[in-house]
Structure 1
Amino acid sequence: MINRHKTKVLISASIILSLLILAGAASVNYTSTEEKYSNPVLVETIKPKAHKGIVTPFVVEFGIGDPTVISHDGKYYLYPTGDQYSYYVYISSDLINWKKGPKVFTSAESGAWAPDVFYNPDDKKFYLYYTVNRKIGVAVADRPDGTFKDLNPLIDNAIDAHMFLDNGRYYLYYATYPGFRIYVQPMESPVKKKEEPIEIISPTKAWEKKRAAITEAPWMLKHNDTYYLLYSGGGADSQDYAIGYATSKHPTGPFTKYKANPIIKKGAGIFGPGHASVTKDGKGKMWMVYHQQNDETIGWNRIICINPLWFDDNGVLHGKASRAIAQTAPVVEK
């Protein structure tokens, strides 16, 4: 005799299992969060570069630093300070394993530092904001690993550009040089200024003055209608370089520095963490990509590292640097 109730249950269970399998096949797969990594994730030593018969005089050799990272079509693209005359792109699918890509920009002058690359969803082009000889300019390309065509200079006596798009409006953040005060320049487009720049951060705290009075390397985040401006202070060539942040209800300020700054600093084998950019992994978790000094020596022997950033329930931004210690890896799409 057939047990009709049991048969119905078995059929229903089979249908549910089939639907779950089909749903799983249609969903995005991710790597296990149990995968591990340890810092640094990228190390490259640059030797002095001869350019038109001239060798950069003030360094013997140095490590790449000042990284900007963007994500596009399932890959990450990292652009650091390199040989003082050009920028290369480094490409990764997981933020951990990086492959050096092509040269994307070459300058006729020395002092090519701290590039920032911005993808503009309006025209689907990539904009490189370069610092060369303490001046900021902009170049454009159709691909993140393409050759960027120089368009025009933007700001004199400035370094460390960072473009931020919010509600259809463009804002270019930068640090003055000399002075190391952070300004925001409202922009009509990625290449055209409008209105006057506004000073938003200056070196006023003790940690920002450890080696010299410096606030630089701006990077903007937005969380729950609050703007978080990451910045670095204390001297990029020293172990006291560190990262803090300030908040505002508007991208042009006024900004209030977090009272417990710096949130990322030296200690436990960590030297000079700074100049952070931020991206997200496949699950939406924030990761800062930044450099550390290789040791406590004053200089430019830097290494590229990654670590998580997160907001607590009170809107406080947290982060912690690590070095040579196994950490849970970013989650990436497969």
Structure 2
Amino acid sequence: MTTFVVAAQPEMYYGDTSRIGRPFSKDPHVIRFDGRYLMYTSAPPAETGDNDMQGWGIGVAESTDLINWQKIADVPPEGELEAKGICAPCALVVNDTVHLFYQTYGNWRNDAICHAWSTDGIHFTRNTTNPIFHPNGEWTSGRAIDAEVYLFNNQYYLYFATRDPDMRTQMMGVAVSPLDGDFKRESWTQKCDKPILAPQFPWEGLCTEGASIIQKDDWLYLFYAGAYNNKPQQVGVARSRDGLTWEKLSNKPFLTNGDPGTWNSSESGHPHIFEDQDGKTYLFFQGNNDNGNTWYISKVEIGWNNSGPYLK
């Protein structure tokens, strides 16, 4: 029997054990839907011994208090396009429908963004035009991952991570769609011919990814992950007035990995900013202290002042 030794736990400490027998949940995205909270996460493939990372799916957990979560479902890969796996979910509620944006996984530079929809938040129907987006231009390899879709200025903004043509550096771009585009492939127009956010500071290493957006007054705030997994990955913040041109708020991370011996000493990464019905905002993120053998999801409350967000 395997024993997991963990440091002092935060109030929220979620790791799904149903797929590989140890806690492993990544890339959180939280919504409020149908009277409860739903959290979508990347769920790992069953271990086959060759560690090929194929077969990723999306896990669904529910909660009534944003602290205690229970796994209720999986969204498995479907069809030839998704055969090697799907992950990194983003959920958007429009009226009575949950729209799920996610990436194919395991196809390297050919991975792209897909879309599906659901009226119960659990069973999803695929968009017939999948994949709905991949970037173009000499600045990018054509890969698109880590979708974040946000309603702003009467259109939908799709933020994505991609890599340079050498597949070495991870950076971000953006596309837009009209409200009546049904999120179909033909509705998206790329709005950049270079990265809108790229590694710049030492702590970011070779990676900026995992965008999560919230609007406060006239500003959009983008929470992002800097550095690849366990390098350590940490969370930064940028802001924009138009959704296209971004400035980073600091040359230091907003949310750091933990000190040695803490539950998130290996990283605090892949953020999701969530605003509840009462106006409180929470930053969900992934972390671990064993270089990725396990992955947990936790949250911290975020406050706001004239300078932007701060950790409460």
TM-score normalised by L of structure 2: 0.77
Q: Could you tell me how far 1:194 is from its partner in structure 2?
A: 3.5
Alignment partner of 1:240 out of 224, 227, 232: 232
The corresponding residue for 1:308 is 301
The corresponding residue for 2:103 is 131
Mapping of residues 107-186 of structure 1, within 5 Å: 107=78, 108-121=82-95, 124-133=96-105, 134-151=111-128, 152-156=130-134, 157-177=143-163, 178=167, 179-186=169-176
The corresponding residue for 1:64 is 25
- 2: CA distance between counterparts of 1:45 and 1:110? 21
Name the % identity.
25
AA of the residue aligned to 1:315? S
Q: Could you tell me how far 1:41 is from its partner in structure 2?
A: 2.6
Mapping of residues 241-320 of structure 1, within 5 Å: 241-253=233-245, 255-268=246-259, 269=262, 270-271=264-265, 272-293=267-288, 295=289, 297-312=290-305, 314-319=306-311
- 1: CA distance between counterparts of 2:112 and 2:12? 30
Q: Which runs of 5+ in 1 are unaligned?
A: 1-36, 49-59, 321-334
- 1: CA distance between counterparts of 2:284 and 2:293? 17
Equivalent position SS for 2:123:
coil
1:207–1:262 Cα contact (<8 Å) kept: yes
AA of the residue aligned to 2:307? G
Equivalent position SS for 1:42:
coil
Q: Could you tell me how far 1:119 is from its partner in structure 2?
A: 1.3
Equivalent position SS for 1:200:
coil
Q: Could you tell me how far 1:217 is from its partner in structure 2?
A: 0.1
The structure, 1 or 2, with the larger RCO (C-alpha pairs under 8 Å, 6+ apart) is 1
2:207–2:226 Cα contact (<8 Å) kept: yes
Q: Quickly say closer, same or farther: Cα 1:248–1:300, change in 2 above 3 A.
A: farther
Is structure 2 residue 87 aligned with structure 1 residue 101?
no
1:105–1:148 Cα contact (<8 Å) kept: no
1:104–1:148 Cα contact (<8 Å) kept: no
Equivalent position SS for 1:155:
coil
Quick check: which has more Rg, 1 or 2? Answer: 1
- 2: CA distance between counterparts of 1:315 and 1:273? 23
1:82–1:113 Cα contact (<8 Å) kept: yes
Q: Could you tell me how far 1:224 is from its partner in structure 2?
A: 1.4
Q: Quickly say closer, same or farther: Cα 1:239–1:163, change in 2 above 3 A.
A: same
2:171–2:209 Cα contact (<8 Å) kept: yes
The corresponding residue for 2:199 is 203
The corresponding residue for 1:20 is none
Q: Quickly say closer, same or farther: Cα 1:64–1:148, change in 2 above 3 A.
A: farther
- CA deviations 1:161-214 (Å, max 9, x no partner) are 0100013210000100433111111113333433323231011111100xxx00
Q: Could you tell me how far 1:317 is from its partner in structure 2?
A: 1.3
- 2: CA distance between counterparts of 1:113 and 1:88? 9
AA of the residue aligned to 1:251? G
Equivalent pairs counted in the alignment come to 263
The corresponding residue for 1:74 is 35
Equivalent position SS for 2:84:
coil
Bigger proportion of residues as helix: 1
The corresponding residue for 1:324 is none
- 1: CA distance between counterparts of 2:66 and 2:227? 27
Q: Which runs of 5+ in 2 are unaligned?
A: 1-8, 45-54, 106-110, 135-142
- 1: CA distance between counterparts of 2:103 and 2:116? 11
Q: Could you tell me how far 1:282 is from its partner in structure 2?
A: 4.6
The corresponding residue for 1:218 is 211
Q: Aligned-residue CA RMSD in angstroms?
A: 2.2
- 2: CA distance between counterparts of 1:66 and 1:266? 16
